Amino acid sequence: MKLLPYMLFAFLITGCSTNGVNRENQNLIIQKYYTQVSHREEVKLASNVPSGIVGGSIIGALDQADGNSDDIIGGAIVGAVFGGLFTRLSEGDSKAYEYHLYTPELGSFTLVQKQKVDIASGCLLVSVSSITRVYQDDIGRC
């Protein structure tokens, strides 16, 4: 009898799932092709922390605008610390990799991404996607 609730729960969970197309692939054209990779180099991504510090200090100072000058300065300092910290945490790690790639059809191009991929084989699979919409049109245009 104690096993019955667990079986019922498992049945309900499996009954609610379907094996359809991933919802994230709606309105996407996904193009995949193989490229030759000449080399990979580590790069550093630009940061918005200075903007976060400035924005946080302005908000902190405005928040304390009804106080004296010491309150305004204190609010600006606390706002700058939290603005910079929040921006840094939301950005994550600034380390990324730049891949130099080549295909006969597209020529040479570069790709920057955070994920480090093993390039020992000299060949990479590139997957490109962009949001796409389809609209009805006259058959004569096709």
- Beta-carbon contacts of residue 95 (< 8 Å; ≥ 6 apart): 42, 43, 44, 45, 114
Q: Indicate the SS3 state at residue 24.
A: helix
Encoding tokens for residue 105?
Answer: 């059809």
Structural domain boundaries in the chain: 24-45+95-135, 47-93
H or E element that contains 36: strand 28-44
Q: Indicate the SS3 state at residue 111.
A: strand
- What pLDDT does 20 receive? 76
- Contact between 77 and 26 under an 8 Å Cβ cutoff? The reply is no
- The pTM assigned to this predicted structure is 0.58
- Contact between 127 and 84 under an 8 Å Cβ cutoff? The reply is no
pLDDT in tens, the chain (142 residues): 566 665 656 655 655 556 777 777 777 788 888 889 888 999 998 888 888 899 988 998 888 888 788 888 898 899 999 888 988 888 788 899 999 999 888 899 888 988 888 888 888 888 888 866 656 666 666 6
